[in-house]
Amino acid sequence: MDSVAPVKMLTVLGAICLVAIAAVIGWAREPRQYRADPPVSAALDQLRLMPDGIGGTSPEVYFAMGKPYESTGFDLSQGKRLYSWFGCSQCHGDGRGGKGPSFIDGWWLYGPSMVSIVASIRNGRPHGMPAFKDKMTSDQIWQLAGYVRSMGAYSASVVAPSRNDDKTSRPAENRAPAAILFDEGPIPVHPKQGPSP
Amino acid sequence: MKAAVVIIIAALLAGCGGNQSALDPHGASSVALKDLIVLFALICSVIWLLVTGFLLWAVMRRRAEARRDPAAERRMTVAVRASMTATVVIVAGLTVASFHTTQSLHSGADAPVFVSVKGQQWWWQFTYRDGNQAPLFQTANEIHIPVGKDVRLELESIDVIHSLWIPSLAGKLDLIPGRKNVLTLRADRPGTYRGQCAEFCGLQHGHMALLVIAQDDSSYRQWVAAQAAPAAEPSDAEAAAGKAVFMSKPCAACHTVRGTPATGSSGPDLTHVGGRQTIGAGLLETTRGSLAAWIADPQTLKPGNNMPLVPLTGEELRQLSAYMEGLR
């Protein structure tokens, strides 16, 4: 009996500590950086692309930073703002395309990797995509690329950009908008289920 | 002791003055509102003192022995009836006074000056209109009005609910998306009055201020003529280079400078930005340095606002700030 009580107490104490730690982690806000440090910004420009401009490797610094432009809500939200500020929707619509290609049809003309999307925004592409390297900073280009990538993601994500203020016209960015393209059609309803059993 | 009390009261009352205070009114409707505030405060203070006094008296007095005294009962009945009647009369009277004041605020149906106000996150867009409602010119975060004349403000919002409050001149009125509210402004004395958004509207709600500059008729006309004119041409080579930077960078996509190809409409009209007292909706005084700082890093100065950082070299930034400062 005496040996059980301390174990019980330790368990309770441990649980309290866990809750406290979780509360502290939840309270500590993701740090926000409104502009990248100049060396980081310069390093982000060092894209290593394949000779045909499709695919390649992101700069080392991107991995050293922990791939923030795909994985933090703040950067994705900034990307979403940049998407409207720089008039991307003029050609790409809400992601469904128009004059420019769609982002949510599961097909990436230059591959789905971050580095390709960054290169497309930064240097432009043939058939009308302008270069934005003189109009945006490097970290803005990366934020925008992260957002564009999330618009047509194949798999669901735990991070999401801010919500739309107006009516949504496509699936939310964190819910794998492009995954549906790989579904094998609707799953048939069991005869005993559905609106008229 | 007496001197100390006088000093403390003076120090406390000093907060009631200034160019943004409902207790220091300079316009017809704000005077009416101040009178109403004073009336309410006086009557309610008297009532509060009476109630507190009676409460103290009831607590302190010796408990009477339990005996029935018909005369005392009658006195109490009369007292209760009298105070109930007084309550009804006072509440009704204050309601009538409030209603009367509210009625008197809406006077300018055919005001000589007509301005549309669009509240947005987080600045004020003002469009002056002529008699036929056609737009004359647009400005931001600063309006000039003629002294002693009614100014009709039509309030709209393009995103969330804002509220326009210029305490020295008028009461506050909300700007509601999809709706037009009308506020009549009238300044009785020349001066610069500050106003603010009075409805929490997001991250930079605290940096959404505006200035109302009341001028005599002739200087007001001069100002209108100057504002209606297109932008000044750059006066030197540096500013001319700055103009070229403005046109080649993304600035022109959101900002208008009348008389140039820049016709964007989602940001403030910059045709006469150098002539305004503040930038960023009351954030900074307009100087060449503050303009450059704002362009160099708007998100650090006012986090969350809708102006992106545009990459510029030091040279381009100098030229651009010279051009902006020259747009008077």
Give pLDDT tens digits for A125-178: 988 899 999 889 999 999 999 999 998 888 888 888 888 777 777 888 888 887
* Same domain (yes/no): B195, B278: no
Distance between B5 CA and the closest CA of chain A, angstroms: 46
User: Which of B191, B219, B247 marks a domain boundary?
Assistant: B219
pLDDT at residue B130, rounded to an integer: 86
CB atoms within 10 A of CB B40: 13
- The total domain count for chain B is 2
The whole-angstrom distance between A11's CA and the closest CA on chain B is 42
Q: Which residue has the higher pLDDT, B76 or B272?
A: B272
What's the burial of A123, exposed, middle or buried (CB within 10 Å: 0-12/13-18/19+)?
middle
Q: Does domain A38-163+172-182 have CATH number 1.10.760.10?
A: yes
Of the candidates B159, B254, B308, the beta carbon closest to that of A82 is on B308
Asked if residue B130 belongs to a domain, the reply is yes
Q: Is the pLDDT of residue B107 over 60?
A: yes
CA–CA gap between residue A191 and residue A178 (Å, rounded): 30
pTM (2 d.p.): 0.81
User: What are the residues of chain A with a beta carbon less than 8 Å away from any beta carbon of chain B?
Assistant: 32, 34-35, 81-82, 85-87, 134-137, 140, 165
Is B70 in the same domain as B101?
A: yes
DSSP element (H, E) containing A84: helix A73-85
Instruction: Tell me if B309 and A34 make a contact (CB, 8 A cut-off).
Output: yes
- Cβ–Cβ gap B249/A87 under 8 Å: no
Among residues B159, B186, B219, the one where a domain terminates is B219
Q: Residue type for B141, please?
A: N
Task: Give percent of chain A with pLDDT exceeding 90.
Answer: 37
pLDDT at res. A123: 93
Same domain, B134 and B271: no
- Residue B226 forms part of a structural domain: no
**B50-56: average pLDDT:** 94
Mean pLDDT (chain A, rounded): 85
Q: What token pair was written down for B89?
A: 């009369």
Q: Residue B160, Cα to own-chain centre: how many angstroms?
A: 17
Q: What angle do CA B96, B99, B102 make, to 5 degrees?
A: 150
With a pLDDT cut of 90, the percent of chain B lying above it is 68
Which amino acid type is present at position B151? V
**Domain positions in chain A:** 38-163+172-182
More confident residue, B112 or A115: A115
- Cβ proximity of B255 and B264 under 8 Å: yes
Beta-carbon separation of A134 and B249 below 8 A: yes
Answer yes or no: are the C-beta atoms of B15 and B167 closer than 8 Å: no
Residue A183 has pLDDT above 70, yes or no: no
B135 SS3 class: strand
Whole-angstrom CA distances from B176 to A122, A167, B43, B171, B200 are 40, 19, 34, 16, 13
Least confident range of A94-103, B104-113, B142-151: B104-113
Q: Has residue A186 got a pLDDT over 70?
A: no
The reply to whether residue B250 touches residue A165, judged by beta carbons under 8 angstroms, is no
Domain assignment of residue B283, given as a range: 237-326
Q: In whole angstroms, what is the distance from residue B15 CA to residue B21 CA?
A: 8
3-state DSSP call for residue B115?
strand
Q: Is residue B39 part of a domain?
A: yes
> Among A152, A124, A153, A150, which residue's Cα sits nearest to residue A136?
A124
Across A143-152, B101-110, B113-122, least confident range: B101-110
Judge: A34–B297 Cβ closer than 8 Å, yes or no: yes
For B164-216, what is each residue's pLDDT tens digit? 999 999 999 999 999 999 998 889 999 999 999 999 999 999 999 999 999 99
Is the ipTM value over 0.85, yes or no?
A: no
Rounded CA Rg of chain A: 22
Q: Looking up tokens 């933090």, which residue turns up?
A: A72
**Does B321 lie in the same domain as B271?**
yes
Which of A29, A33, A35 has the most B C-beta neighbours within 10 Å, making it the best mutation to test the interface with B? A35
Same domain, B41 and B183: yes
End-to-end CA distance of chain A, in Å?
57
Strand-pair partners of B193: B212
Confidence of residue A109 (pLDDT cuts 50, 70, 90): confident
Same domain assignment for residues B190 and B297: no
Question: Residue B168 has what pLDDT?
Answer: 93
The answer to whether the CB atoms of B297 and A87 lie below 8 A apart is: no
Query: Most B CBs within 10 Å: which of A29, A134, A162, as the mutation test of the B interface?
Result: A134
d(CA A99, CA A93): 8
pLDDT of the residue at B209? 95
**Regarding beta strands B113-120 and B123-129, do their DSSP bridges make them parallel or antiparallel, or are they unpaired?**
antiparallel
Q: Which residues in chain B have their CB less than 8 angstroms from residue A134's CB? A: 249, 311
* Beta-carbon count within 10 A of A98 CB: 12
Cα Rg of chain B, angstroms: 27
Nearest to B303 among A34, A85, A136 (CB): A34
Nearest by CB to residue A34, choosing from B253, B299, B310, is B299
Q: Tell me whether residues A137 and B311 touch, CB distance under 8 A.
A: yes
What single-letter amino acid sits at B114? F
Q: CB-based contacts of B157: which residues, under 8 Å, 6+ apart?
A: B118, B119, B120, B175, B176, B177
Query: Which tens digits make up the pLDDT trace of B11-37?
Result: 666 667 788 988 889 988 899 999 999
Q: Of B170, B186, B219, which residue is a domain's last?
A: B219
- Is residue A1 over pLDDT 60? no
Cα–Cα distance measured from residue B287 to residue B273, given in angstroms and rounded to the nearest whole number: 10
pLDDT at residue A197, rounded to an integer: 45
* Same domain for B243 and B215: no
Q: Give the CATH number of the domain where residue B99 resides.
A: 2.60.40.420
Q: Which of B159, B306, B309 is opposite residue A35, by nearest beta carbon? A: B309
